[in-house]
Chain A
Amino acid sequence: MIELPQLGDDERARYEWQMWTSGHGEEGQRKLKQTSVLISRIGGLGGTVAYYLAAAGIGRLVLAHAGNVKPSDLNRQLLMTTDWLGKARVESAARRLQELNPFVEIETVAENLSNENAKRLVGCADIVVDAAPLFAERFAMNSAAFRQGKPIIESAMYDFDAQLTTMIPGQTACLACLVPENPPQWRREFPVFGAVSGTIAAMAALEVIKLVAGFGETLAGTMCLANLRTMEFRRIAIQRDPNCRVCGGQEPNAS
């Protein structure tokens, strides 16, 4: 069994208040320090997940997002700043995250997830967070993660609607069970307030923290649906598709 990394005095001081959390403590904090998380796109959703995971003391973040900061990013992408317009998003994010917490190791990849790089990028992390806007990227990550047995936090929003679930290979449905085909009506640009993507991002970060530290209850096997226009939240059970092209709905421990 791999021994958990130790915390230094500066880290204990930094995480003191969250180590008071029931079920977490110093052991949970050391588990967070041991964990690496890949985040696919660091926009309003993924960037805020990264920010909360950095604040919480995750050991290593791998940030994948192509392109440069645009003015239209700044209403929600809290890791981007006005003085960084026209420069690489991942570098802006790394700078902001290191300012917040220099104990977190940051790896930047100025690419979006694709069938070409998904295997390699998913292989860099223990857990993956999907915050990408395009289904092609999400399907590539889903396939790679299920093949490698890596849990995925699936987070998405549109306007004031949000969806969040945790998918665990061998235990729960995968993305392809729920969305068998690339939705033809989906548009890459969508209406969004930063506070909406930020709300679901904070919940996604909590899914990672609970999954790693082992306390509380995650959304595994269920999906949280939120309508933030009316403040209605519901949780539904999600079923595996026995004919799923990716996970085949296999039972846990199936050969």
Chain B
Amino acid sequence: MSRKLNLRERYQRMTRDLAWEPSYQSKSDIYPQMEFEGIKIEDWDKWEDPFRLTMDSYWKYQAEKERKLYSIIDAFAQNNGHMNVTDARYVNALKLFLTGVSPLEYAAHRGFAMVGRQFPGAGAQVACQMQSIDELRHVQTQIHTISHYNKYFNGFHDFRHMHDRVWYLSVPKSFFDDAMSAGPFEFITAISFSFEYVLTNLLFMPFMSGAAFNGDMATVTFGFSAQSDESRHMTLGLEVIKFMAEQHPDNIPIIQKWIDKWFWRGYRLLTLVGMMMDYMLPKKVMSWREAWEIYFEQNGGALFEDMARYGLRMPKYWEQTIEGKDHITHQAWGIFYNYTHAAAFHTWMPDNEEMDWLSAKYPDSFDQYYRPRFEHWREQAEAGNRFYNPTLPMLCQTCQIPMGFTEPGDPTTIGFRASDFEGNRYHFCSDGCKDIFDNEPQKFCQAWMPVHQIYQGNCGGATVPDVLDWYHLNFGVDNFDYAQSPDRQHWQQWKGEAAEESDAPDEAA
């Protein structure tokens, strides 16, 4: 008579016991990328998957998540759910998310398939396989949402093409390309630990709560459905670090260097999310500053106390992020306001009520440094002089964001660093980005820099309309201020709002 296996035994049988020792090929031929990064693994059997999810349970639970998700996506489409969002300005946050982040889900699907193939341990292989399938599911669900919104709003029509070309989409793209062109141990430290464990909550939790608050059920649903896989990914990230740390003391300085690098890269990338939270959600859930306090300072602080037992410390320059939480989103929104004529989404200046919210949430910085600038820009726009910056910005060679972030300790001076390498000079927005370059100059000197490429004549021509055409962006439709956008006109028609009432940003909403 057979006895029901307990969780641990089931995981053992259904995972480890399915692996085998190779006999007619050497392990180093089968797993050729295991040595070159310097990580030393003595015993793959020490890998402990904390979730012990077997493939059969995985399919069962994922199928249920999918059923729930698609019934909501159907209901959203059938009931014209896009009409229930707070305001058409909100959709611009979605444009940035779906064109910037969704292609990363696909990149993660590929990345985990690649590293899962490289790891000799069965536990790690299965965890990577599940994550690879998860990520494919995520991009599929997000494309359904793109497909729905694309029927009613501009800027979604060619997200895949844009991801490889558009200047600000090079920020997320280059982040993932950097990880995928690293070795398997760096990739998994970068994505599973630094991004998923330490930072991804900032991407999904406040933003998805924000989507819920703004009436966007489609996004909440794919977001939380994706995030439910994320808890598994996060524990994988934590396990990877513990496993490498316990396998050999020589691994510690290598891991620390990767944590330093990928924390900073992730922090820069998430500036775009912070900007969405503070400026692009008509109804706001929490500020970037609050989110950083909850999800990095509190949660990340507890995590690195855990990591101290392995000799790992907080990521380098984390103190700068504490100071930066008062500034980066305002600076980034300023940059996008300057360059929205070259973007596939619209920008605007906050209305009075929103300015007051920002003052309250950023008592140490907004009124002093940003409100006067934004009020000036708003006055100019109302007088018919909406400013668009005609000069292409200098980009940071590492994060690829225009160089608009300020010096630690001085929010009135733009940060500027440089390194010389093989006869060329490279420019950086911060110490963090400079360090990353200096550690791997051969890699980062090859970065595809959108502004350089435009000046070199590789992006369709010398004028903004030429370049936008090469991006597959519709000039005069996808770009420019929200106030003049067809999106806004349509929204007013659908909602039966009189155009003159809405000429000023809606104060009553």
Q: Do A and B come from one complex?
A: no
> A residues touching B (Cβ–Cβ < 8 Å)?
none
> B residues touching A (Cβ–Cβ < 8 Å)?
none
